[in-house]
Structures are given as structure tokens and as C-alpha cells.
Structure 1
Amino acid sequence: MALYTRVVDQAFGVTVRFDADDSEIDKVGLDLVRSDGGDCGEVLQEDWGSANAEEFEETDDGYEVTLTDLDYGEAVARARLRARLVVDGTSQWCEWFPFLPWCGGGGQVENEGCSSDAFTIRPAKLSLSATTNPAEEDLTEEDLTRSDWSNYTPKTCNNEVCQAAGDNFNLGIEALPTGQGFDAEILLQPSDHPQAPAWMALGTLSLPTSLSFERDANKVTTDQAAYTEAGLVAVDAHDDGAFAAVDRDKGHCVTGAADNTVNADGLVGCRTALPEPEPLGRFIPDHFAVVDTDDIDPDYITNRSALSCDGEERDEFTYLGETLAADVTLEARNVAEAATENYRGEYAPLSALDWSVVAPEAEDGHLDDRLELVRDTSGWEQGQASFTPEVTVARADEPDGPFTADVAFVATDADGVALREATLDVDRDGDEDNDHRLAGETILRYGRLAIERLTAATFSEVDLPLRAEYWDGDRFVENELDDCTPVELRYRSLARGGDPEAAEWEGQPALGDLALREPLPPRLEEGEVVVPFEAPEERGEVAVCADLENHAYLHRGANEDLPDVCQGSPRGSVWYGISSGNENVLYTREVFD
């Protein structure tokens, strides 16, 4: 007869058929044996089931009896049934022949034999447990599973259990109701978590070796399980199918299924498995890393970022009060330095970096009390985010500096995920321990503009210097590093005897036919530009100021004599006098009305 896979502690029935005279057989006994080879094998339970003669039913070929409520409390990969037909001394034979050796005694086995078909008794299900595996002995293990995942939203790791992606955690598989006799290898694979958002990708669940049950073990464990991704995951587990191979290969169980309910064909599933994938979480990145850090001297800042000059012409400094831009791309990574792409949305609590401007010349070693930030970020996608703040160190009330500064940052999210300590290279606090990551080096200068005041003969060409200056600690000196400050001037032309209040500030000089010999360059070069005036044919003054409306970092203070766009600018000028006989002669005593 065909025997099918059965489940530990799950009762079933077996029909025994035999060809004999019921007057000879008084009892049918059924033993459960383990058959590891061709022989009937080791008896696991004698008289597993039995029936007396009055329970026999006659058939066309003999007799049969169905033995019910058969169950066994351990797993057996290859079980067989041994049937015994017993004459026990109570039959009519003993009334006629009481001298027979089995009469009045223990009975005699008339016939016995093992079933030709072997079958499997497997555990009903698996159960999974997972806990953190803290490296420090004084920390306790915490459960990565929970009884209720409904309405889950991520909290900080102070309020829920977190596990670093790629780091080892404890994982155990238990066979229920027992694993005794269950010598099987367990296969595990990640599955979608019921509360995970649709975009959350599956990572890889890794184990150092396979998890395999031994016959006398109820549970197998490892302390080196690891999951590569951030976020949530469910773990599916089942045996590899080899335990029930004796039935699987004959179609005596449902391949690939773990159902314990007998189907219409009398079959259960071949597998022992978790009833459903076990949800685990929350997993977080192990650390952050700066992307593209192969440069020996990484530079992720742009000096004077509001100005249009770029490339090799980009200045190596920034004025105090002027904006520089940083552009740092971080990647959330697991222990093995692979990106955790699920670090995004509400599962990515890092939205901004903490910035510092470290300057040894500053009183506190840094200028953070003067730091002004306009933060911006691309948001997290594929485990990466770009942080592009505008950084400004405010001017002091009085000139100070210059400062050689390290623009540095710290990246730590609400879960405690941070840059690896070995990658920190700036000591902000001055305690000889690096606590920040360098974004770039710069020079910060307190700046201003200077425009000359000249006098010249009426028919003279004049070059009026305009230059950028910075405070060198003692005085203002020319800033030869400035190649980016734009040049946009205003002119007020006043002929001799003219009304100053009626004169307008304009974009071009208008003293007679006075004009510029050539267009002004768009910006300073090595800190200076020259205004090239042609020679006018009349006497008077041309006043000059610079449009500093968007360049407050070069202001010198208010001046009521200047237009609004020139506030903060110096007032330069050229006075043209009377020349006679020699155009290079200036009569300094000449009076202008």
C-alpha cells in the first residue's frame, strides 16, 4: 500500500489488509520503525496501533482493519510500518487444542512484515527568532521581531530596536512541535515586509554556513547572520526538501508546499517551513561615507560662489560676509562598504549636516558664532544625497583677520549613524581628537574697495585706479587674489559752474565729450582695474562710485552723497583744470564755481 507524508503529532489512519482465516488471527498489531536502508529497521514504537478480531471487516480477498489515531512525537525521514498478525490464545483453536504453546500465554505471531513503501513524518512548522548581537558585553540582546507590526512607522533607535546593515545578529530556527529526528538543512531568503513601502528593495541575507538540524536538536542558531540593506525585511525559511525526499520523489507529498492540511488526494506539503515570512527590523546603515574621496586633497567648496567666474579664474579666498558654497555627496553604507539604497524617505532621518569653520587665528579656534547657513539638499535616492549649503562667515564690526580656515562638517542622523571615526580629519575643539570631516580649505578676508581721487589737465587722458583691499592684521593692503569681483561703475559729471544737486549719477561719464578709451573689464584682475578716461575739452569733475548693491562684503559705510546702489562704495573722482601751452600743465589755483 502507498504511504504518504505525515506531520508530527498529527493523527492519521492506516488500513491493514490480510488474507487469512479470522478464526486463526486474533489481533493485528502495527509497529512504527525507522528504515535507513533496505531492512525494516529500528523499532520506534511497538504496538503503535492494534485491532482485535471483532474489528476485522471481511473483503473479497480476505480481511481488513483500519487503525486510527496514529501519531508520533518525533520526525522521521524514512519510516515504515511493520504489521503483525497475532494469535493471542483466546481463539477457538485454544479451546480445541489447549496444549498449543501460545494458548493461555502471550500469543504467537502468525505473520509479520514491513511495508514496502517508506514515508516521512515531518515537523509541523518552523519558528524564527532574531536578536541583536552587541559587541560590548554590558549590552543586552534585543529582539528584532515584534508581535504587532500594524501601523508601523520608523522611530529613532532610542525608541525601537535597530540593527546595522551588514553587521552580525543572532538568528535561530526552531522546529515545532519538536525537532527531534529532524536532520534537515534550512534555506532562508529575504521577503517583502508587510509594512515596507513599495519602493523598498530587498537586500541579501547572509550566513557563514548552512543551518542544519541534527536528529537530537530542536533548534539551530547562528550569531553571524547579516542583512545587507536598510529598512525592513521579512525572512522566509523552509527545509531544502531532502528530508521528505522518499515521498517527494514518488509524488506522495506536494512538492514546494508546506501545508499541513490533507488535500483531496490525501497529501500534505513536502516542506517544513515558517507559516509565513517572519518580519524583522529596523535595519539602519552602518555609517556614512563621502563619495569620490580618492583625491589626496579633497575640495568640496566653491569660493565666492555667488559670482560667475569659474575654472582656473575662481578665487582662492572668500571675503568675510560673502557666500561660499559647499557640495558634499554622502552615501549610506553597510559594514561591507556597499550602499544601502533603502536609506530614503522616512527611513533616512539625515536631512542636513552640521558645519563648522575652523580657523586657528580665531579666538576660539573657530568662527562658528559668526556662521550663517542656507541649507539645501537633494534628498536621499539610491542611498546617496548631496548637501549644498551656502556658507557665510559674517563680518565683524571692526576689521579682523585674515583667517586660514577649514570648512568642515559632521554627519550624524537621529539613529546615531555617522561618518566613520577614521575618516574625520579636522579637530574643531582643539582637544587633539579629530571630530569633523574636511570639505575644503579657504582664506577669509575682511575686504573693501578703494578708488583714487585725481586731478588732471583738461586735455589729459587719465587712468583712474580702482582696487580691492583687505585687512592684513595691521592695515588695508591690495588684494591681489581678487579676480572675481565684478566692475560696474556709476559716474556723476559736473562742469565748471554746474549745480551739484542737479547732476545725475549715470552709467557713462558726461563731461563734455568725455568718454572711456576702451570698455571696462567685467571684473577685477589681480585686485585692480583702471578706468581709462579720454581727455575732455572742458573743465569740471567726474565723480565715480562702484555698484555694491549685491556686494555688502566690500562696504565701507554709508555716504549720503552717493546713490543707493553705491552705498558702501568709496567716492573717487577726477578733477580737470585749465591747461595752456602744455596740456600736461595743471593750474592748481584755478577756482571752480
Structure 2
Amino acid sequence: MFAQSLQDKLALTAINSINGQNLLSRLPLNDQPLYGWYETLNGGEVTQRNAQYDVQDDDFQFYKQEITNVHNSEYTSTPDGPYDSTNAKFGIAVIKKVDDVDFDFTGLDASDKITLDADGDGTVDIGLKFTLQPDFRYGRMTLDSVSGSIGGPIQVPLRTEFWDGESYISNSDDSGSQFITKEYCGLSNLSNSDAYLTDTVNTNGKQAVNLGKSDIVRAAQTTSQRGFVRLFLRQGITQPEGTMCSWPNGTQPWLQFNWRDFGDEDPSAVIIFGAYRGNDRIIYRGEPNLVSH
């Protein structure tokens, strides 16, 4: 194996191919020490001349675009993208060349190259884009606000969506996002509210969406009473503004969203219990942080 001083150094490189924007700050794996030269080839034989550079990652990630929240200091993202082969290029570049060893760009089209300062040293590097490009989408999980009789159960439609560049659409490619209905918390106009989330499977265990949707979520009350409540379904570890609940670990924080201008938080739904009561005309007053956003 060659000494480290004689080894080329590689780094991830990424660019918006439409406007030339550098996307490296949104790649958590950029220039990680987990990458390195190995002495063995795929066949298992040891070599000191044809070492391969091995990149091992089962979860290639792309950070959301963060913005400043004018209401508090909580993490807040804003939708952009999607990023795929039509508007972005992700690849790898040699940022430290020994004896001018670099990729062989002979015969390659200009669209296969990524021209960018990949390591921030002020020198432009020419990288090679991956043969297969990732498809990054800004996503969120959403619950519909609903109403029904006191006590419930009331069906709460659940969807996963992604930003297509103009609006949010249901993600029919998603049959993997998960949720656990027993992990919830709420805000209510009733001081003694005992509203809760459950599901029709009655396991309160881990469930998953099917083609971006689920119809098994239900809202109910232990004590039947008229009122409304905002119920949050856990996805991250942050405590929703105005609540007194938190969780030890988050499962899918990338599905949180800035629903109420308090920063990215779990998906939630406003549930009105007692919406149907004969011919009575009941008008609920919006409570701050509850139904006003």
C-alpha cells in the first residue's frame, strides 16, 4: 500500500446545473474520513498498484434548505428542488493530485464533468458525475384536520407529500415512511382533554404508508366531551410550541414541516369533537397556536 503522502484524495462534488449553485454544504457526507484506499480488490486479491477507493454509505442524504425563523431560534426549512438528473449533478473529484493522477476525461461529454471548488481551497476542481444520479425531494407528512361526533373515533387521513417545484403533491412512490399512533401529544381548548390518536389495526405499533397514504389513523376521546384539539404525530425529537411533550429519539425528522411558523415540527391535525349536534349552531373561537395556523 502506498504511503498516505503518495495517495490522491477524493471528495464529493455537487452543483445545480441550471444556475451553477454550489450544493456541497447540503451533503453531510462531503469529504468524510470514512472514505479511503483499500489494498484489496473486489476479487479479494491484495495489490499495491491497483488499490480501489471505497465509498460505503447506505443512506446518501441531502440537507433541506434552512432559513431564519423570525419567531424563535428553532430549525426551520423551506421547500426547494426537487434535485435530479435534469437540474443537478452529483459526483466525485480528485482534490489532491499526486503526480497529476486524475480521472481520464478523454471522450467524455462536457455534461459528465462537474467544475467546482470541491474542497474550498480556492482552486477549481473538475469532477466526474455519478453514472446514476440521486433523486432528492423536499418531503413532509401531513394529517388532515377533521370533525365528528364527541368521543369518536374520527378518521384522520394521513399522506406523505413532496414539493414538485410549484406545489405539494402526494408521493405515490412512498411505501416506506412510518408512524406510531401511540406517540402523540396535543393542544386543546379543554384543560382536561384526554383526546388521543390510535389506529384501526389496534396494535399501536409501527405502521407504514402505502403509495403515500394511510387511512388507518383515528382520533378519539376517553371522556366524551365537546371541544377541539390539535394532535401531533411524532416524527422528530423537538417539542411542538405550546406543548409539554417530547420524545427520546426521532425516527423521520425529514418529514417535519414549518406548519405554524414556529419552526419545523411534527405533522398535526385539528380535531373538532361534537361538530354534529342536531340543528344547533355552534361556532368555535380560534385559539392561539391551535387552529389559527
The bucket for the TM-score relative to the shorter chain is 0.5 to 0.7
Cα offset, 1:577, TM superposition: 0.4
- Picking from 427, 440, 457, the partner of 2:132 is 440
Q: Is the 8 A contact 1:403 1:443 kept in 2?
A: yes
Cα offset, 1:555, TM superposition: 3.5
Superposed CA deviations along residues 48-83 of structure 1, whole A, max 9, x for unmatched, are xxxxxxxxxxxxxxxxxxxxxxxxxxxxxxxxxxxx
Q: Counterpart of 1:356?
A: 13
- Picking from 236, 261, 264, the partner of 1:548 is 236
Cα offset, 1:548, TM superposition: 2.0
Cα offset, 1:348, TM superposition: 4.7
Summarize the alignment of residues 192-591 of structure 1 with structure 2, pairs less than 5 Å apart: 343-346=1-4, 348-350=6-8, 352-360=9-17, 362-364=18-20, 367-368=23-24, 370-374=26-30, 375=32, 376-381=34-39, 382=46, 383-388=51-56, 391-395=61-65, 397=67, 398-405=78-85, 406-411=89-94, 413-422=97-106, 426-429=112-115, 435-458=127-150, 460-489=152-181, 490-492=183-185, 498-499=190-191, 510-511=194-195, 515-518=198-201, 519=203, 521-533=206-218, 536=221, 538-539=224-225, 540-545=227-232, 546-549=234-237, 550=250, 551-557=252-258, 568-577=265-274, 589=282
Distance 2:115 2:131 in 1: 17
Cα offset, 1:396, TM superposition: 5.0
Q: Give the count of matched residue pairs.
A: 228
Cα offset, 1:404, TM superposition: 1.5
Structure 1 residues 588 and 357: CA distance shift in structure 2, 3 A:
farther
Distance 2:140 2:20 in 1: 25
Q: Is the 8 A contact 2:180 2:206 kept in 1?
A: no
- Amino acid of the structure 2 residue aligned with 1:475: S
Q: Is the 8 A contact 1:577 1:586 kept in 2?
A: no
Structure number with bigger Rg: 1
Summarize the alignment of residues 171-186 of structure 1 with structure 2, pairs less than 5 Å apart: none
Structure 1 residues 377 and 367: CA distance shift in structure 2, 3 A:
closer
Q: Is the 8 A contact 1:467 1:478 kept in 2?
A: yes
Q: Is the 8 A contact 2:163 2:169 kept in 1?
A: yes
What secondary structure is seen at the aligned counterpart in 2 of 1:572?
strand
Q: Is the 8 A contact 1:367 1:393 kept in 2?
A: no
- Amino acid of the structure 1 residue aligned with 2:90: V
Distance 2:134 2:279 in 1: 47
Distance 2:267 2:106 in 1: 50
Structure with the higher fraction of residues in strand conformation: 1
Distance 1:402 1:553 in 2: 14
Return the structure number with greater relative CO, CA threshold 8 A, min gap 6.
2
Q: Is the 8 A contact 1:468 1:482 kept in 2?
A: yes
* TM-score, length-scaled by structure 1: 0.33
Superposed CA deviations along residues 239-276 of structure 1, whole A, max 9, x for unmatched, are xxxxxxxxxxxxxxxxxxxxxxxxxxxxxxxxxxxxxx
Q: Counterpart of 2:288?
A: none
* TM-score, length-scaled by structure 2: 0.60
Unaligned runs of 5+ in 2: 40-45, 68-77, 117-125, 238-249, 286-293
- Amino acid of the structure 2 residue aligned with 1:577: G
Identical columns (%): 17
What secondary structure is seen at the aligned counterpart in 2 of 1:469?
strand
Q: Is the 8 A contact 2:114 2:129 kept in 1?
A: no
- Amino acid of the structure 2 residue aligned with 1:388: Q
Distance 1:370 1:547 in 2: 21
Unaligned runs of 5+ in 1: 1-342, 504-509
Q: Is the 8 A contact 1:577 1:587 kept in 2?
A: no
Structure 1 residues 401 and 535: CA distance shift in structure 2, 3 A:
closer
Q: Is the 8 A contact 1:423 1:437 kept in 2?
A: no
Q: Counterpart of 1:326?
A: none
Structure 1 residues 386 and 493: CA distance shift in structure 2, 3 A:
closer
Superposed CA deviations along residues 438-491 of structure 1, whole A, max 9, x for unmatched, are 153122222233221111112654221222222222222222223333324543
Structure 1 residues 436 and 575: CA distance shift in structure 2, 3 A:
same
